[in-house]
Structure 1
Amino acid sequence: MRNRLLITAAVMTAVSGVCSPAAFADTPAGDQDTAFVQAAHQSNLAEIAAGQDAQKSAMTACVKDVGAKLVTDHQKLDADLKALAGKSGMTLPTEPTAEQQQKMKAVQEKAGTAGYDAAWLADQEAGHTKTLALIGQQIKAGTDEAVTATAEKARPVVAMHLEMVRGGTCHTM
């Protein structure tokens, strides 16, 4: 039963688009906890880059402000993940997934136009929705208490970010 849950979790995570196959490359088969840490780290890297880009490319103050909030919060979340990975001997990817990079590039192509903010908000809504699903899966199926505690700590932050971009409308908190 446990193996079936772990396999289901890995498949759901991979299908969600948050994890690329590369996120599982260094992961022992069925290791939900390592897969979560790697995927969450890549999501943090993507959010930090997106937030930095919004601060320089967004047309509205709200999107710039939300971008700054994402940078600050995801740097803190990622520091926790890096510490956890270091203690556990996990290898972390060095960049966002290819899919995350491609989406970022598509948004960046709209820099300096009215379409940038809308594209950025839509991308952030999709990304944070996927990350919440990833967190939920870790909380449900994870076996490492420290990794699951890190996921639980991240959940309200990611949920707040989702509310800030939900529906393609910018909301500062």
Structure 2
Amino acid sequence: MRGRLLATAVAAVALSGISAPQALADAGVSGQDEMFLMQAHQGNLAEIAAGHDARKGATSACVKHVGAALVRDHTKLDADVKMLADKLNVTLPTSPSAEQKKELAAVQAKAGSPAYDAAWLTAQDAAHRKTLALIDQEIKAGKNTEVVAAARTARPVVAMHLDMVRGGICHAAKDAGMVRAGTGGHLVAADDSSTTAVGMAGVIGGGLLAAGGAAWLLHARRRPAHKS
């Protein structure tokens, strides 16, 4: 009887959309998930450093704008990565990779000249293609649902950045704006308020369903069995 009640309770919570059982599903972190968090963190650090450098070394306003966008967005994306890594006990690197440092230094050597802008854009085109490949691999092969979700929601931000530097040409107009911190980097859409309203309605409805299910189970447990 207790086993049947527990199964019913789990089903009620699952129908509600509340992620109480998710701790069980997310308990394990695969090698793929760990690698993604580590490399995503290093990529964020590299993009933040490159963005700061562009604001100092670039000659065009467009490249400076794109650099500022990288700092803005990758700082927020990295906050999510660090939060997940801390929760899942994944130790992150403390700096970009040796290859990323070498690439940044090569671009920095051209600071203050038009050659810098061209080198910076080309480097960022290559870097964001690599990051998209990393994200797609996690979406395809990741095991931890939270890490996969973070990769999924960061993807449009990285894709936007690639559009801003695609082909080594600066396209500041591709900047869609701020990303929300703590949400895996979702872009803020023009109809964000309606999306939020729908999401809140789902959460409220799910909460009511879960509460109703819990109350029914409590009543069933307390109700004395009828004698035959």
Tell me the TM-score normalised to structure 1 length.
Answer: 0.82
Amino acid in structure 2 at the alignment position of 1:80 = D
1:138 — aligned with what? 138
Corresponding position: 1:122 with 2:122: yes
1:150 — aligned with what? 150
Shift of 1:114: 1.2
In 2, the alpha carbon distance for the partners of 1:89 and 1:167 equals 38
Corresponding position: 1:40 with 2:40: yes
Q: Which has the larger radius of gyration?
A: 2
| Residue pairs, 1:1-173, within 5 angstroms | 31-172=31-172, 173=174
In 2, the alpha carbon distance for the partners of 1:169 and 1:124 equals 10
Q: Percent identity?
A: 63
Deviations 1:82-141 (Å, cap 9, x if unpaired)? 000010011000000000000000000000111000000000000000000000000000
Deviations 1:138-159 (Å, cap 9, x if unpaired)? 0000000000000001100000
Amino acid in structure 2 at the alignment position of 1:93 = P
Q: Which has a greater percent of helix?
A: 1
Aligned length: 144
2:211 — aligned with what? none
Amino acid in structure 2 at the alignment position of 1:151 = A
In 1, the alpha carbon distance for the partners of 2:107 and 2:101 equals 10
Amino acid in structure 1 at the alignment position of 2:68 = A
Amino acid in structure 1 at the alignment position of 2:46 = A
In 2, the alpha carbon distance for the partners of 1:115 and 1:55 equals 15
Tell me the TM-score normalised to structure 2 length.
Answer: 0.63
In 2, the alpha carbon distance for the partners of 1:123 and 1:168 equals 8
In 2, the alpha carbon distance for the partners of 1:56 and 1:109 equals 12
Unaligned segments of structure 2, at least 5 residues: 1-29, 175-228
Matched residue SS, 1:37 = helix
Amino acid in structure 2 at the alignment position of 1:51 = G
In 2, the alpha carbon distance for the partners of 1:91 and 1:159 equals 27
In 2, the alpha carbon distance for the partners of 1:86 and 1:40 equals 14
Root-mean-square deviation (CA, aligned residues, Å) is 0.7
